[in-house]
């Protein structure tokens, strides 16, 4: 798998008079973890929504390698290898296997009609998808839970089902929206390990929106800091942590607060 660079260039998003993103630029180097941080209302979620095709910017571009993603529909962007997790868990029904197989359907060439008719090729494909889904479950630390109903899993495990479901798209860029929100300390450590493991094993790029500064400092290679829609700092976690603009932006707010959406 070759992982192209993800390039966000001068992206501006406006909502009825409010500029949620103001000419924001950053580049995600292939195979690295890039964190997007900033106080509440800084524009982080808006940025994710642009990257995954839910919002169209007023101006600016998003490119994955040579491909312009800026005005593509969400399913096209997903098919090109940009997968995301959502902050709030949507997965409550079926087994882990069921949920991961839903993630695989986007990739299924045989299609539903052929599967329903049990054509040999469709049966073989289905078997391959199931084997891959099992591997991904193991990567995400869910070995032993593959056939368990999601509703019976712990919160931490369910968050990792959500991660595994995104990985079933075989993404080249994985967008993680507050992956440890609502987790206890042990679950956070486990999730951090899994994110690192997955990135190393699959060689993909990760874009991380996260309020837990400890996690950001541990996982990120590069950090982009937003405040009121503007990029106020960019650099390694150590550079950003010492940046006076960043300290100022976080001072008036509760840095590290966890209830933010």
Ligand X SMILES: Nc1ncnc2c1ncn2[C@@H]1O[C@H](COP(=O)(O)OP(=O)(O)O)[C@@H](O)[C@H]1O
The item of Mg ion, ligand X, none sharing an interface with residue 15, based on CB under 5 to 8 Å by kind, is ligand X
In what helix (H) or strand (E) does residue 141 lie, and over which residues does it extend? none
Closest contact distance (angstroms) between CB of 232 and Mg ion is 17
Q: Choose the one of Mg ion, ligand X, none that binds residue 43, judging by a C-beta under 5 to 8 angstroms depending on kind.
A: ligand X
Residue 44 beta carbon to Mg ion: minimum distance, rounded to whole angstroms: 5
Q: From the list ligand X, Mg ion, none, which binds 169 (C-beta under 5 to 8 Å, kind-based)?
A: none
Residue 45 touching Mg ion (CB under 5 A): yes
Is the CB of 65 or the CB of 182 nearer to Mg ion? 182
Which CB, 45 or 85, lies closer to Mg ion?
45
**Angle at Cα 111 formed by Cα 106 and Cα 117, nearest 5°?**
145
Nearer to ligand X, 45 or 224 (CB): 45
Describe the chain by its helix, strand, coil percentages, rounded to 5: 40, 25, 35
Q: Which does 152 bind (CB under 5 to 8 A by kind): Mg ion, ligand X, none?
A: none
Least spacing, CB of residue 173 vs ligand X, in Å: 19
List all residues 6 or more positions away from 67 whose beta carbon is below 8 Å from its beta carbon. Answer: 4, 80
Task: List all residues 6 or more positions away from 235 whose beta carbon is below 8 Å from its beta carbon.
Answer: 222, 223, 243
How many residues touch Mg ion (CB under 5 A)?
Answer: 2
Residue 21 Cβ vs ligand X, minimum distance, rounded to whole Å: 8
**Residue 134: CB minimum distance to Mg ion, A:** 33
Using CB atoms, what's the residue nearest to Mg ion? Answer: 45
As a dihedral over the C-alpha atoms of residue 151, residue 155, residue 159, residue 162, rounded to 10 degrees, the angle is 10
Q: Which is nearer to ligand X, 47 or 100 (CB)?
A: 47
Binding site for ligand X (CB under 6 A): 15, 18, 20, 38, 40-46, 260
Taking the least distance from each CB to ligand X, the nearer of 19 and 126 is: 19
The answer to whether 38 and 243 have CB atoms below 8 angstroms apart is no
Q: At what angle do helices 120-139 and 96-105 cross, to 10 degrees?
A: 120
Do residues 172 and 3 make contact, with C-beta atoms less than 8 angstroms apart?
Answer: yes
Displacement of CA 52 from its chain's centroid (Å)? 9
CA angle 163, 61, 215 (to 5 degrees): 35
Q: Which is nearer to Mg ion, 44 or 158 (CB)?
A: 44
3-class SS of residue 130: helix
Paired residues of 9 in beta bridges: 61
The DSSP bridge partners found for residue 225 are 37, 233
Least CB distance to ligand X at residue 209 (A): 7
Q: How far is the CB of 118 from Mg ion (least distance, A)?
A: 45
Comparing CB distances to Mg ion, the nearer of 45 and 91 is 45
Q: For binding to Mg ion (CB under 5 A), which residues are involved?
A: 45, 261
């Amino acid at each position: 798998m070759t992982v192209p660079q993800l390039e966000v260039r001068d992206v501006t998003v406006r909502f009825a008079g409010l500029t949620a993103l103001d000419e924001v630029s950053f580049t995600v180097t292939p195979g690295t973890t890039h964190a997007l941080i900033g106080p509440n209302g800084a524009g982080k979620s808006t940025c994710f929504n642009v990257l995954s095709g839910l919002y169209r910017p007023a101006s600016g571009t998003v490119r994955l390698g040579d491909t312009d993603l800026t005005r593509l529909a969400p399913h096209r962007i997903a098919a090109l290898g940009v997968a995301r997790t959502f902050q709030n868990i949507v997965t409550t029904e079926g087994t882990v296997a069921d949920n991961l197989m839903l993630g695989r359907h986007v990739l299924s060439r045989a299609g539903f009609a052929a599967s329903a008719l049990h054509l040999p090729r469709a049966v073989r494909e289905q078997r391959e998808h199931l084997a891959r889904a099992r591997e991904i479950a193991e990567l995400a630390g869910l070995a032993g839970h593959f056939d368990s109903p999601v509703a019976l899993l712990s919160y931490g495990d369910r968050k990792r089902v959500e991660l595994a479901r995104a990985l079933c798209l075989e993404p080249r860029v994985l967008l993680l929206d507050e992956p440890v929100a609502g987790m206890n300390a042990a679950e956070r450590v486990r999730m951090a390990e899994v994110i690192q493991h997955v990135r190393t094993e699959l060689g993909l790029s990760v874009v991380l929106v996260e309020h837990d500064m400890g996690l950001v400092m541990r996982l990120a290679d590069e950090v982009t800091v937003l405040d009121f829609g503007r990029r106020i700092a960019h650099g390694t976690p150590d550079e950003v942590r010492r940046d006076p603009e960043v300290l100022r932006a976080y001072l008036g707010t509760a840095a590290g607060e966890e209830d933010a959406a």
